[in-house]
Homo-oligomer: A and B are copies of this chain.
Amino acid sequence: MSTLSPCEPKYLELKNSLIQIRDLEAAVSILNWDQTTYMPTGGTSARGRQIATLKELAHEKFTDPSIGQLLQDLRPYEQSLPYDSTEASLIRVTRRDYERAIRVPSEFMAKFCQHQATAYEAWVKAKSLKNFSLVQPYLEKTLDLSRELACFFPHKHIADPLIDFVDEGMTVSILRPLFRKLRQKLLPIVEAITSGPPINDFYLRQYYPKEQQLKFGRTVTKHIGFDFQRGRQDETPHPFTSSFSIGDVRITTRVYENNCTEALFSTVHEVGHALYEQGIALELEGTPLAEGTSSGIHESQSRLWENMVARSRCFWECFYPQLQGIFLKQLSCISVSEFYQAINKVVKSPIRTDADEVTYNLHVMIRFDLELAMLEGKLAVCDLPEAWNERYKKDLGIVPTNYSEGVMQDVHWYGEMIGGMFQGYTLGNLIAAQIYETAVKSNPEITVAIEQGNFTLLHKWLKHNIYQHGRKYTAKELIDRVTGKPLSIDPFIRYIQNKYSDIYSVKLALVA
């Protein structure tokens, strides 16, 4: 045992430096949020510069050798503490971050960021003109840079480091077989569901005035536990969540007036992310532990609230009368059962973000496989659009009408990089099912409470088991701790089979 005290001065020195760095990163988030919500267009170029300056400073401070020295000096202190103490966790997580950060030269990151901005601009233009060739050279360079970035790290598969950035511990050798199994299960389920008569949902596409949609959304948001004293909601073209501190977590929403529920579900999705960030233990505030632990776990929390809760039958048993009361003209003749079916309609469609929860993972896995093929050098960027269309034909039986609705639909490859961009979505769905199944098993009253509009039981359970820990545990550790089992596709498949057997009156269990 070490004789170092919990007030070990070097620990406090490290913590204070990390808080300062995180303050810079929070400022970056605030500047980004402002740029997306309220900034006048005239601010664009200066804002880009300001954000770059703050990011550079944060990076410079974090990769300073003094941080490495502190981490080195604190090894005995760390080893003297329990694994899940805040102190040991902070040192452990910071060491991982640090060792990752110092591998990539600042000049390379600056060059890559510069290219990302240019590629993004090119994508915006190419997408609006439905012309992939305009963005192709940029994407080729992105591929080169993504490979170059990965090569700063030791790896078995070239995609592994890129995946590890956001889903630590995940590798191609874990994900490829997992996703293959998932796809094999899903394809026949989708086939069975969509070969029957389609659900009628035309009434969801009537005129639903924005103000009333927003008002209902705010009611739901408050009800499920978003704390407006410690957050707010604004409108943006692309919804997102950002956290500036545990006490200031913001979501954004977009409303389509010809769609009854799009805004609601996307809001609940963001609320899921936000509850996670608002629920982190206050003692972690300002430190690198004060955020969600991985892309997959974060997405699991948004999808759990969006799909398992807000697209459930028991949720609408409670909220449908309210919604019907607001949109009497549009919904008076529609029963809660019909409504429940309509919002869970399964369709083979070309756009990932519009996809239902059954087909959604097929969209994701197409991107995951294409990413890997590009990184492996087996697919050239010039052949990507065709490969995309072929795979859509194969998995979803459709071919996008143009490249804007096909290969150019998502910003990720064009605005960020190739590799590590998509697996988090499917991981999120799998983890959500596994966690929700555990929650309901350990506390069966959760669903009864939801039917009565009471989300406290579920919220508390998630806060206790997931939210409060921030980044203390990796995704793998958290899943093992919470569910007692390693990550598996089974709970998700069970969830889909149970829910959709009922909605579509097909025996999916047999099919799968």
Q: Interface on A for B, CB 8 Å cutoff?
A: 19-20, 23-24, 26-27, 30-31, 34, 38-47, 49-50, 53-54, 57, 227-232, 234, 244-248, 285-286
| CB of A112 to closest CB in B, whole Å | 20
CA distance A47 to B248 in the complex (A): 9
| CB of A225 to closest CB in B, whole Å | 14
The residue of chain B having its C-beta at the shortest distance from the C-beta of A285 within the complex is B46
Choose from B45, B49, B228, B232 the contact partner of A38 (Cβ within 8 Å).
Answer: B232
Choose from B38, B39, B234, B248 the contact partner of A43 (Cβ within 8 Å).
Answer: B248
Q: Are A42 and B247 in contact, with the CB atoms below 8 A?
A: yes
CA distance A137 to B475 in the complex (A): 53
The residue of chain B having its C-beta at the shortest distance from the C-beta of A232 within the complex is B40
26 pairs of residues in contact across A and B, judged by CB atoms under 8 Å: A19-B49, A20-B53, A23-B49, A24-B53, A24-B57, A26-B50, A27-B30, A27-B50, A30-B30, A30-B31, A30-B50, A39-B248, A40-B228, A40-B231, A41-B230, A42-B245, A42-B248, A43-B247, A43-B248, A45-B245, A46-B246, A46-B248, A46-B285, A49-B286, A50-B245, A57-B57
CA distance A46 to B27 in the complex (A): 11
Which residues on the B side are within 8 Å of A46 (C-beta)? Answer: 26, 244-248, 285-286
Given contacts A27-B50, A27-B54, contact A43 B244 (CB under 8 A): yes
Q: Please classify the interface of chain A as helix (H, G, I), strand (E, B), loop, or mixed, using the class held by over half of its residues.
A: helix
Which residues on the B side are within 8 Å of A41 (C-beta)? Answer: 229-230
Q: How many copies does the complex hold?
A: 2
Choose from B23, B40, B50 the contact partner of A50 (Cβ within 8 Å).
Answer: B23
Choose from B27, B34, B53, B230 the contact partner of A40 (Cβ within 8 Å).
Answer: B230
Which residues on the B side are within 8 Å of A39 (C-beta)? Answer: 232, 248
Given contacts A26-B50, A47-B245, A53-B23, contact A229 B42 (CB under 8 A): yes
Not counting A42-B248, A46-B245, a sample of 13 additional A-B residue pairs whose C-beta atoms are within 8 angstroms of each other reads A24-B53, A24-B54, A26-B50, A30-B31, A38-B232, A43-B230, A43-B248, A44-B247, A45-B245, A46-B246, A46-B286, A47-B244, A49-B286
CA distance A228 to B43 in the complex (A): 11
The residue of chain B having its C-beta at the shortest distance from the C-beta of A247 within the complex is B42
| CB of A277 to closest CB in B, whole Å | 12
CA distance A19 to B49 in the complex (A): 9
Which residues on the B side are within 8 Å of A34 (C-beta)? Answer: 30, 34
CA distance A292 to B231 in the complex (A): 35
Given contacts A31-B30, A46-B286, A232-B40, contact A23 B54 (CB under 8 A): yes
Choose from B26, B38, B230, B234 the contact partner of A42 (Cβ within 8 Å).
Answer: B230
Which residues on the B side are within 8 Å of A27 (C-beta)? Answer: 27, 30-31, 50, 54
The residue of chain B having its C-beta at the shortest distance from the C-beta of A21 within the complex is B53
The residue of chain B having its C-beta at the shortest distance from the C-beta of A52 within the complex is B23
Which residues on the B side are within 8 Å of A227 (C-beta)? Answer: 42
Which residues on the B side are within 8 Å of A20 (C-beta)? Answer: 53, 57
Which residues on the B side are within 8 Å of A234 (C-beta)? Answer: 38
| CB of A20 to closest CB in B, whole Å | 5
CA distance A20 to B47 in the complex (A): 12
In order of increasing CB-CB distance, the 9 nearest A-B pairs are: A43-B248, A42-B230, A46-B245, A42-B247, A23-B53, A23-B50, A27-B27, A42-B229, A43-B247
Q: Are A40 and B286 in contact, with the CB atoms below 8 A?
A: no
Q: Are A245 and B43 in contact, with the CB atoms below 8 A?
A: yes
| CB of A116 to closest CB in B, whole Å | 19
Which residues on the B side are within 8 Å of A230 (C-beta)? Answer: 40-43
CA distance A50 to B286 in the complex (A): 9
| CB of A209 to closest CB in B, whole Å | 19
The residue of chain B having its C-beta at the shortest distance from the C-beta of A23 within the complex is B53
The residue of chain B having its C-beta at the shortest distance from the C-beta of A57 within the complex is B57
Which residues on the B side are within 8 Å of A49 (C-beta)? Answer: 19, 23, 286
The residue of chain B having its C-beta at the shortest distance from the C-beta of A230 within the complex is B42
